[in-house]
Structure 1
Amino acid sequence: MASRSALPFDVRIMNGLASALFLSVALAALGTAVWWVAHHPSWSLGRIVVDGEVEHQSEEGVRAYLAPQLRGSFLTLDLQEVKRLFETLPWVRQAVVRREFPNRLHVTLQEHEAVAWWGEAGGGKLVNRQGAVFEADPDPGHAQAESWPELVGPEGGSDRVYALYRQLQPVLQPLGQPLSQLELGASGHWQARLAGGTQIELGRGSEAELLARAERFSSTLPELMTRYGGRALEAADLRYPDGYAVRMRGVQTVSDDKAAAALAARVRKK
């Protein structure tokens, strides 16, 4: 019997082509079978189960919103794409999606916990507890929404503004008015507003410098207010290197040429 190597060259070529053709047909047939199985009606998506933090979501609402956007069967659905779609829902911070045989998707949601407005109150942008901005509207009658502060700053700066807000709030607490607005300007200048309308110029500087100014102000202001008969405080400027300036309702400046400054009093560091 002749060895394979002894076969004529053209015969070996034909055998190789036949083997390759047979393998291609077999792979195509296998692929067709797999595709047919994966797309068989028995693998149609039957149900989406939603759990986790679902205060602002419902399984019925989620299914009605997402079902028309899902492409493929239970086996062929792209779970990363499904995850992305869920995370486009208002209030959804994170979604974990997994298949549950035979035809069910299980979705665990983690919602944003709103702590402040980003920009004007009611503007549709909120800040969560991680300092990130998301778009959503509070539920009608949401009691806490009325007490959320307004945080303002450059794009991408929400975490920095929220971090300073959290530290300033207890420092300014002795003033008896909650911190209702904190703004970081484009030039790096900080400005705060209390719930009663008092404007506070914090100026520029590191976080430690800003907190030191606020601490000096809140710890000495009560004595100053007593000295001036407890008049309402309208504004304060903490940018002085050795103290701060305040403007109080009904307190006049000494001369007309200084009236524009509206400097009512100045407290020096002790």
Structure 2
Amino acid sequence: MSWSEVGSRWRVKLSEVDWYLCFGLMFFTLVVFGLSMAVWKLNIMLNDADALPIEAVAIKGERKYTSDEEIQVALQDLMKRSFFSADVNQVQEALEALPWVYQASVRREWPAKLKVFLIEQNAVAHWNGDAWLNSYGEVFDAPTNDDIGPLPKLAGPEGQSKVVLTTYGQVSELLEINGFNLNSLSLSPRHAWHGVLDNGILLELGREDKMARIQRFINVFPTLEKQVKTVAKVDLRYDTGLAVGWVNAQKRASK
């Protein structure tokens, strides 16, 4: 085959190529490449803390025990991220990890602010010595705060905090109506109830009929009132009566 024949064949093949399709594919490829580069650059910019920093965090909600310094420390690492890359769920978790924070809600506000609403724990009682109970009967750990007034001391097995708090409310209400104040209430591992009044008298209530036994104490107390300073304990774990432990007897027993 001569070179002239080869050249004529190539000219025929080139004439058969669909140039519109080729240029269309090239244009589409360039567009896709350009969009990919734009998305890549946009992603870099959105995640650049220097280009789009978080300039402010607005904290709302009544706070008594959570300071600005605690919030700053909790968010110091998260604040290094950009406005768009900051995970509001992580911000929420960091705030709710603070000891006196019960709940936090976080949202972005354009162009560079995070808005936070905090709800603090409402401590209503001490729990097992070094923990606290909130108004829902949930246990939480937090440092002691002098701004909190005197609270009842409650105790019980793990998982029984709501039961103890509910029972305390019922028992203390009945006692208060009749002029008594309940300082502490505990539930033993064997589910027996023990209460202590503000005058130091220990009430042994047992496991059953605690409200009826409290009423029995209220009914009988007038006969003990003259000797209230020497009453150490009232055992109400009887079907119809009660037993009184005296202060002197308790001292002798302890010796």
- TM-score relative to the length of structure 2: 0.77
Q: Runs of 5+ in structure 1 lacking a partner? A: 1-16, 253-258, 261-270
Equivalence for 2:101? 92
* Inter-partner Cα distance in structure 2 for 1:191 and 1:104: 52
- Partners in 2 of 1:231 and 1:186 — Cα distance? 30
Q: Distance in 2 between matches of 1:35 and 1:180?
A: 60
Match of 2:234 among 227, 236, 239: 236
- 2:104 aligned counterpart, secondary structure: strand
Equivalent residues in 2 for 1:14-163, closer than 5 Å = 25=33, 28-40=36-48, 41-70=50-79, 72-120=81-129, 123=130, 125-140=131-146, 142=147, 144=149, 147-163=150-166
Q: Deviations over 1:18-73 (max 9, x none)?
A: 99988985674354133123123231111111110212223354124321244631
- Which residue identity lines up with residue 239 of structure 2 in the other structure? P
Query: Aligned ranges for residues 108-257 of structure 1 at < 5 Å?
Result: 108-120=117-129, 123=130, 125-140=131-146, 142=147, 144=149, 147-173=150-176, 176-205=179-208, 209-222=209-222, 224-225=223-224, 232-249=230-247
User: What is the CA distance between 1:169 and its match in structure 2?
Assistant: 0.8
Q: CA 1:93–1:161 in 2, change beyond 3 Å: closer, same or farther?
A: same
On the 8 A contact 1:131/1:159 being kept in 2, the answer is yes
Q: Percent identity?
A: 32
Relative to structure 1, is the Cα distance of residues 39 and 235 closer, same or farther in structure 2, using a 3 angstrom cutoff?
same
Q: State whether residues 50 and 59 of structure 1, in contact with CA within 8 Å, keep that contact through their aligned partners in structure 2.
A: no
Q: How many Å apart are 1:215 and its aligned residue?
A: 1.6
The unaligned stretches of length 5 or more in structure 2 are 1-24
Which amino acid in 2 is paired with 1:110? I
Q: Report the RMSD for the aligned CA atoms in angstroms.
A: 3.3
Secondary structure of 1:75's counterpart equals: coil
Q: Which amino acid aligns with 1:96?
A: S
- 1:174, CA displacement in angstroms? 6.3
SS at match of 2:232: strand
Supply the AA of the counterpart residue of 2:137: G
Name the SS for the 1:154 alignment partner.
Answer: coil
DSSP 3-state at the match of 2:238: coil
Deviates more, 1:190-199 or 1:78-87: 190-199
Q: SS at the partner of 2:118? A: strand
Aligned to 1:14: none
Secondary structure at the aligned position of 2:45 is classed as helix
Q: Which has the higher helix share?
A: 2
C-alpha distance after superposition, 1:72-114 (max 9, x if no partner): 3111111111111100112100001111111111111001111
**Residues 251 and 61 of structure 1, relative CA distance in 2, 3 Å threshold:** closer
Q: Is the 8 A contact 1:39 1:73 kept in 2?
A: yes
Matched to 1:130, the amino acid is: Y
Letter in 1 for 2:134: N
Residue 50 of structure 1 contacts residue 58 of structure 1 at CA under 8 Å; is this kept in 2?
no
How many equivalent residue pairs?
Answer: 232
Distance of 1:167 and 1:64 partners within structure 2: 41
Structure 1, 56-65 or 70-79: larger mean CA deviation: 56-65
| In structure 2, C-alpha distance between the alignment counterparts of 1:160 and 1:133, rounded to whole Å | 12
CA contact (8 A) 2:74 2:94 kept: no
Q: What's the CA shift string for 1:168-196, capped at 9, x where partnerless?
A: 11222367552121111112111111223
Aligned partners of 1:232 and 1:249 also within 8 Å = yes
How many angstroms apart in 2 are the aligned matches of 1:87 and 1:237? 44
